[in-house]
Amino acid sequence: MAGEPHLWLARPIGGGGNVFIASNYRYGSTFNNQLETHHGVEFANPTGVPVVAVAPGTVYYAGSDAERQFGPQTNFYGNLVVLQLAQTLNGRPVFALYGHLDQVQATTGQVVNGGEVLGTVGATGVAYGAHLHFEVRVDNGESYWSTRNPELWLAPGAGRAALAVRVTNERGQHLPGTRIIFTCSDGAPRVLDTYWDPGVTPDEAYGENAAMTDVPAGYCKFEAPFQGETLTAEATLSPDTINFVWLRP
């Protein structure tokens, strides 16, 4: 695929908290059609767990979204921090958004190092229980429509792989809300849904409509339903990079 993998980001959770992405509400999914299409990922943690800078950068905004809109409406993220990364994507600005914070412990304009505490996990704004809502945005830190899938930006765990998947029909058109089932070297079946909403922006380098990080490296077999049949693909995933798989008739 065109472009270099951009696995620049460390995990946004510090203090020994849970650093794994919740599997039931991934980017582009709908929590089994119960919620709106997700523009980020979740890290389930109790209130008060520290959230940290995923990379060096400058705090673009820190505070409440009661009067300044960052989502589909005001009071959506509650207390939030938006970090503009020092590194750019071919000259384009990249932002990390931390939503639903209990406490904000950074200030707008503050220059931070990777790992520096920005606030704590909470449940402010439109949130169902305490967790960190985390987004990556390209070009515009205030636009809800500038998000990209964080699973293609967060560095996978040691020896693990990141996975970008494209599922299309014979004309190359993305198939929304399609369930992919795949099994890798550890033998555990994994489930991944393609993006439900075509308005969710894929990565320009991969054109994916599903992604997952922390996948075991090595051989994997993929299956997805299509018009009464099953699309299949096989791949050997390399660790510490983004691997691309395309399922099509």
* Per-residue pLDDT at 29: 75
Residues of the chain with pLDDT under 50: none
Can you read off the two tokens belonging to residue 126? 């439109």
* Per-residue pLDDT at 114: 98
* Per-residue pLDDT at 31: 58
Which residue, among 145, 36, 35, 141, has the nearest Cα to 98 in the 3D structure? 141
* Per-residue pLDDT at 130: 97
Class of domain 160-247: mainly beta
Residue 149: strand, helix, or coil = coil
Residue 102: strand, helix, or coil = coil
Domain ranges, ordered by start, for the chain: 41-152, 160-247
Which residue, among 27, 14, 123, 9, has the nearest Cα to 77 in the 3D structure? 123
Domain 41-152 superfamily per CATH = Glucose Permease (Domain IIA) (2.70.70.10)
* Per-residue pLDDT at 5: 84
Which DSSP string do the residues of 30-75 spell out, in sequence order? -TTTTSPPPSSEEEE--TT-EEE-SSSEEEEEEEE-SSS--SSSTT
pTM for this entry:
0.95
* Per-residue pLDDT at 199: 73
Q: Which residue blocks in 106-220 are alpha helix, DSSP H?
A: none
41-152 against 160-247: fold identical: no
Q: What is the pLDDT of residues 13-63, one digit of tens each?
A: 999 999 999 998 899 877 566 557 779 999 999 999 999 999 999 999 999
Distance CA 3, CA 228 (A): 35
